Chains A and B, each alone.
Chain A
Amino acid sequence: MPVDWLVKTMQSRGLEVFTQSFSRTLPFPDENKERYMVHGTNVYGILRAPRAPRTEALVLSAPCSPGNSNNQAVGLLLGLAQYFRGQIFWAKDIIFLVNEHDLIGMQAWLEGYHHTNTTGMNWSPLQGRGGSIQAALSLELSSDVITSLDLVLEGLNGQLPNLDLANLFYAFCQKIGVLCTIQGKLQRNDWDSAAGYSQALQTMLLMVLKQASGRPWGDHGLFLRYHIEAASIHGINSFRQYKTDLTTIGKLLEGMFRKLNNLLERLHQSYFFYLLPSLSRFVSIGYYMPAFSLLAAILLLRALDLWVQLGSVVQGMEDGGVEEEEQVRAALVSPTIMVHKVITPDRAMYIAPIFIHRCVCVCVCVCVCIYIYIYIYIYIYIYIYI
C-alpha cells in the first residue's frame, strides 16, 4: 500500500494525517504464501469540524486491497475529502480511513481507537483521535462507472446496524436516482405475484445464511461491536444501460454524510434485529423470534411428556389395585420420592436404565430450552443497551 503517497495527498487536502502499523500472527497459514505473520499500515486523515467541539466523529473508510478488486474507492475518498474540506456545516469530525488487509487492519484501527485489545494483535497506538464515532460507511468500488450499489449490512456474529441507516441510504438513493440492491437483487414492482414472493423469500434466506455464518461481510462489520452504526456500500458494474459515474456517487455520499452530520444522537429509534426481504420491507424480531420460541417450546412439551411417563412407569411396577387418581397424583409427585417406595430389586434392574434415560432426557430438554430462552434474552438486551 502506498503509505507515503497517501499521507502526502491527504495532507495536501488539508486533513490531519496519522498512520498506524499493526502485525498479527495468523492461526492458520495463508494459502498463497504459507506465511504466519501479517504486517500492515493504516492511514487515516481527520477533517476537523470548523466550529464544533471535537466530541463526535463520522468515519468513511475504503479498504486498500492489492490488485484490481477495490481500486477506485480510495480515489473517491480523496476527492470527497477535498470537497468536504471546503464546507462549513460540519458539526462532527470526519475521519477518512484507508485500511490495509481489510478486516485485520480495520480491527487494529478500532482497537487502537477505543483502547481495547480483544484479539491480541500488536498495533502502534493512534496519535490522533476524533471523539466518539457516531456512524461509519465503508466503500468498495472496483470500477469508475457503476450500474448499481449493493448495500451490505451483516456484520460480525450476525450483528446488524440500525434499520434507520438502511432506510436512510435507500431513500436517498431513490431521490438521487441511483439503483440500489440488497443481496445483489433489485427491487421489484410486483410483490404479490409468485415470482415476487419467491425473490423476497430468497433475499431473506440469504440474509439469514449470511448472518448465520458469523463472519462480517464488509469492513463495517467490526464497527458494530462498538455500537457504531455502520454499513458497507459495494459498487457493482453489470450489464445495464444506465450507468452512473463517480460524481453521482460522490453526491450520494456527501448527502449521506450531511444527513449523518445533522443527527443529534446515535441512531437508535428503529430496529436492531430484522430481516430484509427487500429494501423497502423488513421483518422485525417481534415477528421471527416468536416462531423460533415456539420451536423451542417443543422441547418443553417433550420434557413434560417424559415427566408424566416417568411417573406412570414407576406406578406400573407397583402391585395392581391402585386407583386412577392415585396414579395421576403419583405421576405428579417427584419420581425420586416414589423411587424410595416399594420397588423390588429384580424389578429395579429392569426399570433403572429406562428410568435413568428418561430422567436424563427430561433434564436435558428442560435445560436446553431454558438455555435457549436465556440466550435470546441476554443477546437482545446486551446488544441493545451497550
Chain B
Amino acid sequence: MAFKRFISLIITLFFCILLYLQPVLCSNIEAKASQFFSSGHTNNWAVLVCTSRFWFNYRHVANTLSVYRSVKRLGIPDSHIVLMLADDMACNHRNPKPATVFSHKNMELNVYGDDVEVDYRGYEVTVENFLRVLTGRLPPSTPRSKRLLSDDRSNILIYLTGHGGNGFLKFQDSEEISNVELADAFEQMWQKRRRGAPFCRYNELLFIIDTCQGASMYERFYSPNLMALASSQVGEDSLSHQPDLAIGVHLMDRYTFYLLEFLEDIHPASQATMKDLFKVCPKSQCASTPGHRTDLFQRDPGTVLITDFFGSVRKVEITKETINLTTPIVHEDHDPSRPAEEAPETQTYVDQLSVTEIIHQKPKRKDWHPPDGFILGLWTLILLVFFKTYGVKHLKHIF
C-alpha cells in the first residue's frame, strides 16, 4: 500500500516535471518554427518576354521558350509564369516543321512541346502591357493568367530577349523601352509597400537580358534586392549560336544556349549558387562579355541558390511535436551572413528527365545489382555438374 502510494507519487511528480518542462520544449520548437517562416521567400514567379517579330527572329522565341522549359521543369507552375511571345514561330507559314521550335541544330530539342501556355501573344506584347504586368496596374477584366500576382515574399525572375541598343530594348519593331523606364517600374514594385497597399511586389528580383549591349539596361536600377545579368557589355553585340540548314534560320543566341546547358544540369535540390551562374558563357564561348550587377542585392551572391529564382522549391521539415502557434511569430531581422536554409532538410528529387543526355550525350550510370536468382541457379547447376563428374575431392581447391 505504501509502495503503491510511493509509485503514484513518483508518477505524479514525473508528470508535474513534464508539465513544467513542456513550455520549454515547446518554445524550442516554436523557435525553430519561427526560424522556418522567417527565411527569404515563399513563392516564385517568372516573367519571360520575347520582344521581336518576324521569321528571322526565330532565335529570340527559342531563347524564351528554353528558359520557360527550364523554369517549368524546376517547379514553377504555369499559373506563376507570365510568358510573352511577340510572334508565333511554331505556326509560321515559313516553318518547315510546323508546331515545333527547335533550340539545337539537327532538331534535337523541341522547346515548344505539348504544354506551352503563352499568356501574351503577338501584338499584345507591348511596352505598356509589359509595364502594366510588372506594376500590377491592369484593368479589372484581365484574367489571372495575365497578371503578376506577386507579393512581398515572392522571388521574381525576369528574362528579356530581343534586339536592343545602348539604353533601350526594341519591342515589336515599332517601339522601345528604355532602361530608365525599367528602373522606375522596379522602383514602383518596391515602393508599393509604403504606399498603403499592403504588399510590395517582390522580395528579390533576378533580371536577365540577352540582347546586344544588354548591360546598359541594368545600369539605371536603384531599387534594393535586385540582381541583374546581361549577355553583353555596352558596345558589344550578342551573337547567335548556330544556324540550322533545314530550317534556314539561327536557332538560339549564344548566351541563352549556354545558359540552357547550364540549367539542364540543375535539379530542384541542387546547391549551385549565383556565382556559378555568373560564370556561364565566358568570352571564349560567347563572343561578348557577359556582365552582372549585384550591388543592390543584400545577400552575398555566393549564398544565393539558383533554385531560389529558377525553381519553386518547397521547404519541408518533418516534426513529431505539436506546435502551438497562438502567439504571432515575430520576424527576426534577416541576418545577411547566415545562409538561407539552415534549419530544414530538403528531400532529394529523382532525376526526372533524360534531356541532359540529349544535350551532353553522357552515358547513363547504371547501379550495380547483385546477381539475381537465375544467374545463381545457373552457376549452382554448373558447379553441381562439375563436382558430380569429377568427384568431390576437387572441392578443397575451391574453398
Residues of A at under 8 Å CB distance from B?
Answer: 49, 51-52, 87-91, 258, 261-262, 264
Contact = CB atoms under 8 A, between A and B. Distances in A.
B23 interface: no
24 contacts: A49-B93, A51-B91, A51-B93, A51-B98, A52-B93, A87-B96, A88-B96, A88-B98, A89-B93, A89-B94, A89-B95, A89-B96, A90-B93, A91-B92, A91-B93, A91-B94, A258-B248, A261-B94, A262-B55, A262-B56, A262-B94, A262-B248, A264-B54, A264-B55
Contacts of B92: 91
Given A51-B93, A89-B94, A89-B95, 7 more contacts: A49-B93, A52-B93, A88-B98, A91-B92, A91-B94, A261-B94, A262-B94
A112 to B, nearest CB: 27
Q: Is the interface of B mostly helix, strand, loop or mixed?
A: loop
Contacts of B94: 89, 91, 261-262
Contacts of A51: 91, 93, 98
Nearest to A49: B93
Nearest to B247: A89
A91 B92 CA distance: 9
Contacts of A87: 96
Interface of B: 54-56, 91-96, 98, 248
Residue from the set B55, B92, B94 with the largest chain A CB neighbour count within 10 Å: B94
A88 B56 CA distance: 18
A258 B248 CA distance: 10
A188 B248 CA distance: 31
A284 B94 CA distance: 33
B270 to A, nearest CB: 40
A47 to B, nearest CB: 14
A261 to B, nearest CB: 7
Nearest to A261: B94
Contacts of B55: 262, 264
Nearest 3 CB-CB pairings of A with B: A91-B93, A52-B93, A89-B96
Nearest to A51: B93
Contacts of B56: 262
A56 B90 CA distance: 21
Contacts of A91: 92-94
B94 to A, nearest CB: 5
A262 B247 CA distance: 11
Nearest to B53: A264
Contacts of A262: 55-56, 94, 248
A262 B243 CA distance: 15
Nearest to B54: A264
A91 B91 CA distance: 11
A90 B93 CA distance: 7
Contacts of A261: 94
A358 to B, nearest CB: 60
A51 B91 CA distance: 9
A87 B295 CA distance: 54
Nearest to A259: B248
B228 to A, nearest CB: 33
A252 to B, nearest CB: 16
B307 to A, nearest CB: 40
Contacts of B95: 89
A274 B216 CA distance: 41
Contacts of A89: 93-96
A160 B317 CA distance: 77
A89 B55 CA distance: 12
A90 B98 CA distance: 12
A49 B93 CA distance: 8
Nearest to A87: B96
A89 B96 CA distance: 5
Nearest to B56: A262
A20 B32 CA distance: 89
A258 B94 CA distance: 9
B93 to A, nearest CB: 4
Nearest to B91: A51
Nearest to B96: A89
